[in-house]
Amino acid sequence: MRLFLVLFLASVFAVAGTAAPLSPVARSEIDGLMSRLEASGCEFNRNGNWYTGGEAKSHLLRKLQYLEERATVQSAEQFIELAATSSSVSGQPYLVKCGNGAPVPSGTWLRTQLQAVRLARPARNAP
């Protein structure tokens, strides 16, 4: 059993050590998502409590930092999946509620916002 644990931990560290850091494009997209969340006026449900977009942004950026320190996130999609869809403590899904609308899963809301961030980005080779 001890050998299995040692081999498992070695493989985890080997994979983590070879993972690429978050690219500037991915970081820009995540920053755009967090800015949209903060400015949206929407509420963010985490573990049964509603928070402002600014509070949600702070929480999700802490989770991003944790993932970046372990080199386990490389794209905005991975950030959404690994950090912004559910509580890593309770496993409860996060929700976003805008105005009088029904709450939606945070992953759904964030993926829609990610598309908007990408559409708003200037074309790279535009004259």
* pTM for this model (two decimals): 0.79
How far is residue 87's CA from residue 121's CA, in Å, rounded to a whole number?
Answer: 30
Question: Residue 67: which H helix or E strand, with range?
Answer: helix 53-69
> Token pair for residue 77?
């999609």
Q: What pLDDT does residue 123 have?
A: 65
- For residue 102, count CB atoms less than 10 angstroms from its CB and return exposed for 0-12, middle for 13-18, buried for 19 or more: exposed
HSE-CB at 78 with a 13 A cutoff on CA atoms is 15
pLDDT tens-digit series, residues 22-69 = 899 999 999 999 999 999 999 999 999 999 999 999 999 999 999 999
